Amino acid sequence: MTAPQDGLIPTGRCGHGSEKRVWSGPACANRPRKSQMPESANVEIAHNLHEHGEGGHTRPWLEIAEAVLLALVAIATAWSGYQSALWDGHEAKLYGEASKLRFEANAHESRAGQEQVYDGGTLNSWMQAKLTGQEQVAVAFERRFRLEYRPAFRAWLKTDPLHNPAAPLGPLFMPQYRNADLARAASLNAQASATFTRGTDARETGDHYVRTTVLLATVLFLIALSQRFRAHGVRMSVLVLAVVLLAVAVGFVISYPRL
């Protein structure tokens, strides 16, 4: 065996192929290695792999756009919820007014019915007095007719009801007949119907705002979901969908009536 030279001690293998020898020291340490690479290159490669693995860094303008969208969604949601609450209260108020008008109409109808019964009873007493020749009694009953009933009674007398079979059955069936309570009841019933219809419209408007609020909640969910994606393309697609839905919701809010 050849003796070690230059003070080298054989402690390991150094060399390639058949030229491998067991050496240690500067001669072996200074031999170039094919797989050796600068440390800075390794750091750069790791950094690039990290970026590609996580889809790259978030662009500042994208974060600003998301913040603007969140602000718009918050404002639109608050406004939609506020209008929904207002229309619900307006609906209840209109329904209450409609019920009140109905009660008033029923009261006037009852009063009108009582007046018609009185008119009919007085007329029957008048006719009985006339047919029995009690003119003074007939005159007394005629004085007891209500003021708004007398024009119809006079017009009915002109048809000769006591001798003309074709004459109307009574003053109630004459065009001149008027009953203020009956007319008032009809007017109140018409007002009640119109008010109830307005209440129904208010309820539908409130429902529209509620549905828009749900749509805005979907937009908020999509914005939050987009932030979970690292891939820029997927994130942008979700944000575009959120923008489209937000535009639709804002269009609905603008088109709805407001209080």
Q: State residue 62's pLDDT score.
A: 78
From the number of C-beta atoms within 10 Å of its C-beta (0-12, 13-18, 19+), residue 41 rates as exposed
Q: State residue 232's pLDDT score.
A: 79
From the number of C-beta atoms within 10 Å of its C-beta (0-12, 13-18, 19+), residue 64 rates as exposed
100 pLDDT band, cuts 50/70/90, is very high
175: Cβ–Cβ under 8 A, 6 or more apart, which residues?
155
Query: When comparing pLDDT for 66 and 206, which is higher?
Result: 206
Contact status, residue 204 vs residue 110, Cβ threshold 8 Å: no
Q: State residue 58's pLDDT score.
A: 57
The whole-angstrom separation of Cα 42 and Cα 22 is: 31
Mean pLDDT of the 214-243 span: 88
Query: When comparing pLDDT for 216 and 8, which is higher?
Result: 216
Q: State residue 67's pLDDT score.
A: 87
Mean pLDDT of the 185-200 span: 96
State in Å, rounded, how far the first CA of the chain is from the last one: 107
Q: State residue 147's pLDDT score.
A: 92
Q: State residue 66's pLDDT score.
A: 85
108: Cβ–Cβ under 8 A, 6 or more apart, which residues?
181, 182, 184, 185, 188
Mean pLDDT of the 60-75 span: 87
Q: State residue 186's pLDDT score.
A: 95
The average confidence (pLDDT) of the chain is: 82
Q: State residue 57's pLDDT score.
A: 53
Comparing CA positions, the residue from 151, 214, 140, 145 lying closest to residue 178 is: 151
The pLDDT of residue 162 is above 80: yes
CA 52 to chain centre: 44
pTM of the model: 0.65
Dihedral of alpha carbons 65, 71, 74, 80, sign: negative
Q: State residue 235's pLDDT score.
A: 86
Mean pLDDT of the 216-228 span: 89
Contact status, residue 218 vs residue 185, Cβ threshold 8 Å: no
Phi first, then psi: what are they for 165, rounded to 5°?
Answer: -65, -25
Q: State residue 61's pLDDT score.
A: 81
Q: State residue 2's pLDDT score.
A: 47
53 pLDDT band, cuts 50/70/90, is very low
Hey, which of 28-37, 193-202, 220-229 has the most confident mean pLDDT? 193-202
If you count them, how many residues does the chain have? 259
Mean pLDDT of the 4-22 span: 48
Give the tens place of pLDDT for each residue, 18-45: 444 444 444 444 554 444 444 444 335 3
Q: State residue 31's pLDDT score.
A: 52
Mean pLDDT of the 164-193 span: 93
Q: Which helix (H) or strand (E) holds 21?
A: strand 21-22
Q: State residue 228's pLDDT score.
A: 84
Contact status, residue 118 vs residue 208, Cβ threshold 8 Å: no
